[in-house]
Chain A
């Protein structure tokens, strides 16, 4: 079983819809990252959070440490939001300090 699980794997929605992408993890973490990858391949860091909620424009990220769960929400979705959204965790307690990634959610927003 992967340490980081995302759902759904694929999501197609209409412009304007409210989007939710979920991430569950099974290890202790020091932080959780939400990343965006466009078809060209580049990766952009959207959020890094260790508790509570963060908001940037139309994007909102929340995390529940006790339940080991995070969500990424997109309000008033737009075709330019079409991308792969990747959840990644930084494990706590020493060892490797790189990120452990989920498999990503492929989001398509249709006009």
Chain B
């Protein structure tokens, strides 16, 4: 158990809908990273938050957004969902910024029908 929690574990929804994925980092970790794993693209970095502020952006679509709250949990919002958004979404946390080991949550499997 990495200490990172993600909810829900599975999510099935329809095209055009909006969903919210939640991540709670390990106690004491200030950074949260979001990653997407799909069959065709593999694992891709989406976005990073550090202590409530957006720190870095990767391949995140404009239809997706995220935030980190004062208690350091983070939410990833996916809107206008398309079939191609079906994937595993992982969050990871680390103590500091870029140069620390990242600990991964169990992931949320999103299926868009």
Give A contacts to B, CB under 8 Å.
30-31, 33, 35, 41-45, 48, 86, 88, 90, 95-101, 103-104
Asked if B20 is at the interface of the complex by the 8 Å CB criterion, the answer is no
Q: Is the CB of B97 within 8 A of A98?
A: no
**Looking at the complex, which one of B33, B43, B55, B104 makes contact with A42 (CB distance below 8 Å)?**
B104
24 A-B residue pairs with CB within 8 Å: A33-B102, A41-B88, A43-B90, A43-B104, A44-B2, A44-B104, A45-B101, A45-B104, A90-B98, A95-B56, A96-B45, A96-B58, A97-B55, A97-B56, A97-B97, A97-B98, A98-B35, A98-B46, A98-B48, A99-B33, A100-B45, A101-B42, A101-B43, A101-B44
- Bound-complex Cα distance A95 to B59 (A): 12
Name the interface residues of B49-104: CB closer than 8 Å to any CB of A: 55-58, 88, 90, 92, 97-104
Contact A42 B106 (CB under 8 A): yes
Apart from the given pairs A42-B104, A43-B104, 17 other A-B contacts in the complex at a CB distance below 8 Å = A33-B102, A41-B109, A43-B107, A44-B2, A48-B101, A48-B102, A90-B99, A95-B56, A96-B48, A97-B56, A98-B33, A98-B56, A99-B35, A99-B45, A101-B43, A103-B42, A104-B42
Contacts of A104 in B (CB 8 A): 42
The interface residues of chain A lying within 8 Å CB-to-CB of B90 are 43
Most B CB within 10 A of own CB, among A35, A90, A96: A96
Q: How many residues of B contact A (CB 8 A)?
A: 28
Which chain B residues lie closer than 8 Å to A48 at the CB level?
100-102
In whole Å, how far is B41's beta carbon from the nearest beta carbon of chain A?
Answer: 10
Give the docked Cα–Cα distance between A86 and B43 (Å): 9
Residues of B within 8 A of A43 (CB): 90, 92, 104, 107
Closest to A88 in B: B43
Q: Which residues of the partner chain A approach B58 to less than 8 Å between Cβ atoms?
A: 96, 98
